[in-house]
Structure 1
């Protein structure tokens, strides 16, 4: 065998660099868009990624590995399915020194109200919209001071809003709860059983006039009556539950949170899923200013809490609350878009009317029959499929995995470069059948976070059509939304869910 001649060092260095450049440019075999494509260059040139985001291939280490994310979802690391959890190579993002969109997002410290009981963590509650009647009964029975008494009063009690106001005043008077002596911001950590940790900052965010440009919705919302939440806010004059915002960030926010959430938690709560929720406190004015300056020129996507943000804006406008007062701000958990702990699960779709399978299949690149017999396995197969793919079970046909064409769809389709299956489903497949965003709230579409529930409804004939969506990487979310595009309703489900009752804020509070 001929002995291989060693390459000169200069050759060994140059060739990998040339190879990486070729891989980073143009449209890839799977239809995704690379750094050098015309579409991505155009989006960068017009500032579409916003706040300095641009495409690149240098920051994969910032994100969770495929094995880490796969293990968190119960997938064996290194298995064929594990690759689905890696960020798509075409949309690795990095912070660049590009012109940033003008932003005046205002962050305030506040003297948080907290439980002063022996075990305050046991009194925290799930968000109000996650508490059904059965769970409400269980939580109320756990303690007369459980936070759910404020957010989900018993239906046979007095006027719910006045009941919450009276109860909160009683707790303050008796010392069950009390406000901190000085304004502070509150780092908040959620640690899953797998060890994955998501960090956020609980602070007040200004929602006065002009805040709409800083706090952008990331998806259309299904209409809900806002009067009830507005009446509760007016009756109690207390901001009880934080919303969830994702800030465009270069990693500075995450670094501050890691340092301040290293030790010394005020309270710890373990939720039914085994996640540990820990709250910390920062009242040093210089440190608070670091957080404020870090977020001052950033915008944020409303990840969870679109309606509550709108209610807070309505309250500030209705009562002409001056800037700098608690009534002109909304309590929020602010997490960096670069957070390693960010997990975005799908919400699957059921359709209550008949659809034409052949009309839909005209927009499908390939269809692969699924041989399993449960929804969880089908959802797992969709996750393992080459993106962009989704699961479809329509009419007399069995369940199939459909691979979609990322370049199809209308030119004004939101988040086009990210090629999200939820968007392609809405603007390509359902649009071909005459369905629009208006059908999201008229009963035509139903939403299920549990794939087994949707599977059973489809198999039992309750739904003539069902679509199963894959998980979404944080990078795909950032690419799809940071230009201001708004996704279809129920495109995302951020996990783990944060809890309420660790800290909250009175509208009479003095801010800093």
Structure 2
């Protein structure tokens, strides 16, 4: 390990985005580009969503990001073997020259997002260049690190946001006027297009704009923590000094913020409700999901609120927590904005104190982005779905700038980049 190199790699010098030779599917070797894409690994609902993606095309990227085998070592070896085979068969091919990739997502509802995919120099949190806003689960970081070591690749970009001076955005817009490398529409209704920026002058304009700026991790805290771990393990300078990211200027393209819900596998709703008696106000809602979420939003506007589901077609709205409960369970050494977060109250008061569910035990708790899937899985297995209301983006940014991390899986920024459009092999 070259400690001097690592010191250089973590020096605070702003965002450093570098072109790379992208690894992309050959459209002539797969059924369709849409059929080989996947949501990010942590968004795929398992097992149903995983099986659906595997069946969509034998070369779907999910076979790399979520390989299926009986042991972790076997899963990682399988992913590495699959990647080597697809490269040998020409299913995946390396682009001829390094590029920054302009990536566009567009939806009929009016959503348009464009950003830049490149390799970003990995810097420690103390550098203040990349700001995390959520805690991570060590076992997930270990899992992602083992997969990256085995494949020697960054298989999907994480999502970062920043606010630039416009120069990089102008490069993005100019690139989007040309013919794309690929254009496809996935089954969720999003259109995806990709362009390559190879002109040295345009790349320099992007890099000049990014210098001196910091970025917020919108999605991919575990992958960023993985980049940090792997960079520390390898000599510097080297390919592990950088990680694959999608960087979006939210001054031009604001993201949407959604909640991530909890699935408590072995806690029936009746037992969850009995435990909170006298600690929260509880109201039964015999309404469809959209109306229940509206009621949650209204209650969350006045204080902490949660929806429980899993014992039938209705919901249970929890709000107005007992102040004495919060006083004895929520740490007092953090800013008020952190202490009053729904995720803070959920983890500190309900999970740790009332329900006694370990937040990092996957056998006890799951984190699911899709509302309907969370409710359905709770009903199927007799557990409890805890539906959350999203946090405002300005709250996330303010806490991140203070160096305060939110409870794990507090937010879901989107739209998230589709996995499978461009990968990075570290040895090319």
TM bucket (normalised to shorter chain) is: 0.7 to 0.9
The alignment status of 1:399 with 2:316, answered yes or no, reads yes
TM-score scaled by length of structure 1: 0.65
> Is contact 1:202-1:334 (8 Å) kept?
yes
Distance 1:456 1:172 in 2: 39
In angstroms, what is the RMSD of aligned CA positions?
A: 4.1
Aligned to 2:8: none
Q: Which runs of 5+ in 1 are unaligned?
A: 1-100, 362-366
Aligned to 2:130: 215
Aligned to 2:65: 151
Distance 1:184 1:149 in 2: 26
Aligned to 2:343: 422
The alignment status of 1:383 with 2:297, answered yes or no, reads yes
The alignment status of 1:479 with 2:398, answered yes or no, reads yes
> Is contact 1:418-1:480 (8 Å) kept?
no
Per-residue deviation, residues 42-87 of structure 1 (Å, max 9, x unmatched): xxxxxxxxxxxxxxxxxxxxxxxxxxxxxxxxxxxxxxxxxxxxxx
**Alpha carbons of structure 1 residues 109 and 341: separation in structure 2 relative to 1, 3 Å:** same
> Is contact 2:296-2:306 (8 Å) kept?
no
Distance 2:96 2:205 in 1: 21
The alignment status of 1:194 with 2:109, answered yes or no, reads yes
Aligned to 2:278: 358
Per the TM alignment, residue 410 of structure 1 is displaced from its structure 2 partner at its CA by: 5.9
Per-residue deviation, residues 427-485 of structure 1 (Å, max 9, x unmatched): 6x549x83699942247765454445666788999557x75432333333323433222
Aligned to 1:126: 39
The alignment status of 1:320 with 2:235, answered yes or no, reads yes
**Alpha carbons of structure 1 residues 415 and 302: separation in structure 2 relative to 1, 3 Å:** farther
Distance 1:159 1:456 in 2: 31
> Is contact 2:14-2:210 (8 Å) kept?
no
> Is contact 2:279-2:321 (8 Å) kept?
no
> Is contact 1:388-1:420 (8 Å) kept?
no
**Alpha carbons of structure 1 residues 381 and 288: separation in structure 2 relative to 1, 3 Å:** same
Per the TM alignment, residue 505 of structure 1 is displaced from its structure 2 partner at its CA by: 1.6
Per-residue deviation, residues 71-112 of structure 1 (Å, max 9, x unmatched): xxxxxxxxxxxxxxxxxxxxxxxxxxxxxx965332211111
Greater shift in the superposed pair: 283-292 or 123-132:
123-132
Per the TM alignment, residue 186 of structure 1 is displaced from its structure 2 partner at its CA by: 0.6
Aligned to 2:84: 169
2:293 partner SS: helix
The alignment status of 1:488 with 2:398, answered yes or no, reads no
**Alpha carbons of structure 1 residues 378 and 220: separation in structure 2 relative to 1, 3 Å:** same
**Alpha carbons of structure 1 residues 419 and 103: separation in structure 2 relative to 1, 3 Å:** farther
Per the TM alignment, residue 252 of structure 1 is displaced from its structure 2 partner at its CA by: 5.2
The alignment status of 1:338 with 2:251, answered yes or no, reads yes
**Alpha carbons of structure 1 residues 203 and 418: separation in structure 2 relative to 1, 3 Å:** farther
> Is contact 1:193-1:274 (8 Å) kept?
yes
> Is contact 2:12-2:127 (8 Å) kept?
no
> Is contact 1:337-1:478 (8 Å) kept?
no
Aligned to 1:274: 189
Distance 2:69 2:113 in 1: 35
Distance 2:367 2:53 in 1: 26
Per the TM alignment, residue 171 of structure 1 is displaced from its structure 2 partner at its CA by: 3.3
The alignment status of 1:299 with 2:209, answered yes or no, reads no
Matched positions, count:
398
**Alpha carbons of structure 1 residues 137 and 390: separation in structure 2 relative to 1, 3 Å:** same
Distance 1:423 1:413 in 2: 11
**Alpha carbons of structure 1 residues 382 and 265: separation in structure 2 relative to 1, 3 Å:** same
Q: Which runs of 5+ in 2 are unaligned?
A: 1-10, 310-314
Per the TM alignment, residue 486 of structure 1 is displaced from its structure 2 partner at its CA by: 0.8
The alignment status of 1:329 with 2:242, answered yes or no, reads yes
Per-residue deviation, residues 266-285 of structure 1 (Å, max 9, x unmatched): 11232221111211111111
**Alpha carbons of structure 1 residues 359 and 161: separation in structure 2 relative to 1, 3 Å:** closer
2:353 partner SS: coil
> Is contact 1:203-1:332 (8 Å) kept?
yes
Aligned to 1:5: none
Per the TM alignment, residue 321 of structure 1 is displaced from its structure 2 partner at its CA by: 3.2
> Is contact 1:382-1:470 (8 Å) kept?
yes
TM-score scaled by length of structure 2: 0.77
Aligned to 1:77: none
Aligned to 2:419: 500
Aligned to 2:7: none
> Is contact 2:99-2:198 (8 Å) kept?
yes
Distance 1:222 1:437 in 2: 18
Return the index of the structure with the highest Cα Rg: 1
Distance 1:467 1:176 in 2: 41
